[in-house]
Amino acid sequence: MSNPIYALILAGGSGERFWPLSRVACPKQLLRLVSEKTLLEETVARLDGLVQRERIVILTNVEQETAVRKLLGHFPKENIIAEPAKRDTAAAVALGTGWIAGRDHAAVMLVLPADHRISDGDAFRKTLALAAQAAEETGELVTIGIKPTWACPGYGYIEQGKPIRLRNREELEGVHRVVRFREKPNVDLAESFLRKGNFRWNAGMFVWSVPTVLSEFNRHAPELADFISQLRAPGEFDRVLRERFAKLPRISFDYAIMEKADRVLVVEAGFDWDDIGSWRAVANYFQRDDQGNAANCAITALDSTNNIVFDDNGVTIALLGVHNLIVVRTNDAILVCHKHQAEKIKNLIGKLPPELH
């Protein structure tokens, strides 16, 4: 690597699926769901040894800014940016690119979600270092592919093509051309992807050099390219962010750039990965009793099976004659939800008093 690595952490998600633990001002990435640290803290810590702290920029939003700054009190103030309005990921990546390009026009940058669970930090850094080398050496957009473990219809899939070989690397180290992206297939199609074996999950992690991504913005999203170049003008960053961000188009980076780019690589993740998309996913990290009840706290259960129980404050939760429930307790709210209805938590929030959103 001849150029320094920067990292853009996208931490502005809303995460309604974890209500009542998650709130507008405290979404999934700020929760301690599966360990003593929040997912955002884990994301930052995972970069130790790969990216210097002053080269990490974290995007949050105005509702969550206070909590993020408090959580990362040791971080340089200017490395945490609150988006003044809710746009999609294309605008967020443009904002981060402007921040990084203003500091180093030749940097390699990683784009990372703040709300995934990865426990093997060494393997993560090894994969990302390989992706950074691929990005710099080929001048292409690079994405990280997760080997699918089941035919999930809710994810985006990446179809891998031929392997490519990098300098000083073996041929089969897991860098491939991308044939195409496939968003949210139906279950049958997802099953055929798994059978074929050359499909990977798109985990929303990207790596590229600043010149490469600028060129892609210029070709496919000129309004965003213009926003980036204004951000880079000396002393203009704050004003441009304040005045222009809220007017940018609502569009995802995948749709605006990735799916339109001619040449994209995929690097196979050598690490474990979990996006912890629901309470059921969180429960995989809990202790489970012999009746299938999973809990992060002490529970007392009688004639009760396959329930999920979460408590953030040491209260005893007792179950009697109930099955397949999700029970979550916080200081000001309790949720009792059937497992099969958990997708509707966001609808429930609409019925709640605003102070609980």
**Strand pairing of 141-146 and 56-61?**
unpaired
Q: How far apart are alpha carbons 22 and 265 in whole angstroms?
A: 35
Tokens encoding 214 = 């600028």
User: What is the rounded end-to-end Cα distance, in angstroms, of the chain?
Assistant: 45
Cβ-based nearer residue to a second copy, 45 or 318: 318
Cβ neighbours, 10 Å, residue 242: 10
Cβ-based nearer residue to a second copy, 176 or 329: 329
Tell me whether the omega of the peptide bond preceding residue 163 falls within 30 degrees of 0, making it cis: no
Considering the complex, what minimum distance in angstroms separates the CB of residue 312 from a second copy?
12
Cβ-based nearer residue to a second copy, 246 or 298: 298
Considering the complex, what minimum distance in angstroms separates the CB of residue 276 from a second copy?
19
Cβ-based nearer residue to a second copy, 221 or 326: 326
Cβ-based nearer residue to a second copy, 45 or 334: 334
Cβ-based nearer residue to a second copy, 41 or 289: 289
Tokens encoding 125 = 């850094």
Cβ-based nearer residue to a second copy, 106 or 318: 318
Cβ-Cβ contacts under 8 Å for 226 (sequence gap 6 or more): none
Question: Which has the closest alpha carbon to 209: 285, 284, 132, 276?
Answer: 132
Considering the complex, what minimum distance in angstroms separates the CB of residue 123 from a second copy?
37
Tokens encoding 273 = 């990965």
Considering the complex, what minimum distance in angstroms separates the CB of residue 301 from a second copy?
8
Considering the complex, what minimum distance in angstroms separates the CB of residue 322 from a second copy?
5
Considering the complex, what minimum distance in angstroms separates the CB of residue 21 from a second copy?
12
Residues 266, 164 contacting (CB under 8 angstroms): no
Considering the complex, what minimum distance in angstroms separates the CB of residue 155 from a second copy?
24
Cβ-based nearer residue to a second copy, 168 or 331: 331
Angle at 169 between CA 173 and CA 200, to 5 degrees: 20
Residues in contact with a second copy by CB under 8 A are: 19-20, 298, 300, 302-303, 311, 315-322, 325, 327, 329, 331-338, 340-342, 344-345, 347-348, 351-353, 356
Q: How far apart are alpha carbons 177 and 163 in whole angstroms?
A: 6
Q: How far apart are alpha carbons 275 and 116 in whole angstroms?
A: 4
Tokens encoding 342 = 């958990």
Rounded to a whole number of angstroms, the CA Rg of the chain reads 21
Considering the complex, what minimum distance in angstroms separates the CB of residue 16 from a second copy?
12
Cβ-based nearer residue to a second copy, 230 or 278: 278
CA 93 → CA 3, 8, 112, 225, 256, distances in Å? 20, 8, 10, 11, 11
Considering the complex, what minimum distance in angstroms separates the CB of residue 283 from a second copy?
16
Q: How far apart are alpha carbons 205 and 50 in whole angstroms?
A: 15
